[in-house]
Amino acid sequence: MSCPSASLAVWASHWLAGGAAPDDVVDALHLWAPLHFVTAGERVAGERLAGAPVAEEWFDESDGSVVHLLRMMRTVGGSFTVALPVPGDVRGIPAGGDLAAAALEAGEAVLIDSAAGAVGLVPAEAGDEALTWTVYPLASGLPHADAMPLGEAEYLLRQATRDAAAALATMQFTDLAGPREVRPLIVEALADLSMHRFPDAIPPRAARVLDTANEVDAILRVAGEHGALQSLSATGISHRDEVLRPLLDTVRQARVAAFTACVAPPRG
């Protein structure tokens, strides 16, 4: 599964590096929402904006167009990183502060490090047809964080695929209509997870990691959303969550590794 932060970071970085057209970025972001607004996290006094690649007109002139968002990306420049934080793992994001709290709530963020300073952007739904990107200037810069190597991500996903399939085999699935065949549910979940694509130029290994992560996630999504008959008790639900949680974390870390590899480096 992609996420708005990954779509913005990967497509915008390829556009800035000359590997994608502006329309490609617009199309990718429009799959998430037709409107994209930019706002400031706790709008601050001018002295906090000094020293950061942030300008008040970004927020005052935000009209919901992706083009405005791209102008902002061009002004900032620099290198892009995607973070998928969870409680206990906010690597790449400065500890504490507004950005960390917002990113944890959203489960994602775009981090941009440039010669002029660093900023973080966190998306949030604003009604049915809009995303709001909240911008956080980071005076202290970004902490160093190494992503998992793609080779390790591939290995862990292979194991996660086996573990997810084994967990699924122990469950009988049901919904309000009664018992369900699980394979159509997985196919449907995988189609949903695979809807958002990246530029053709991304590394083939990263593309494989993303595809495998989607396959594992589809299994886990079905296991989590369609309560197994033996998991309707509190004890059963707790056991199911204990089984799924480490597999979900493997998927999350593998995606971060793949997103990191997919982002185009800034032009020299």
- The pLDDT tens digits for 168-204 are 777 665 554 445 677 888 899 999 999 999 999 999 9
What single-letter DSSP state applies at residue 231?
G
For residues 202 and 41, the model is more confident at 202
Contact in structure between 138 and 103 (CB atoms under 8 Å): no
Distances (CA, A) of 151 to 70, 105, 220, 254: 33, 30, 22, 10
Residue type, 190: L
Count of residues making up the chain: 268
Task: Report the distance separating Cα 60 and Cα 250, nearest Å.
Answer: 40
Q: What are phi and psi of 185, to 5 degrees?
A: -65, -40
Q: What does the pLDDT look like over 221-260, one tens digit per residue?
A: 888 776 554 455 555 556 667 778 899 999 999 999 999 9
Report the range of poorest mean pLDDT among 19-28, 214-223, 225-234: 225-234
Query: pTM above 0.85?
Result: yes
In sequence order, the 6+-apart residues with CB closer than 8 A to the CB of 245 are none
Taking residue 246's Cβ as centre, other Cβ atoms within 10 Å add up to 11
- Ordered by start, the domain boundaries in the chain are 4-145, 150-256
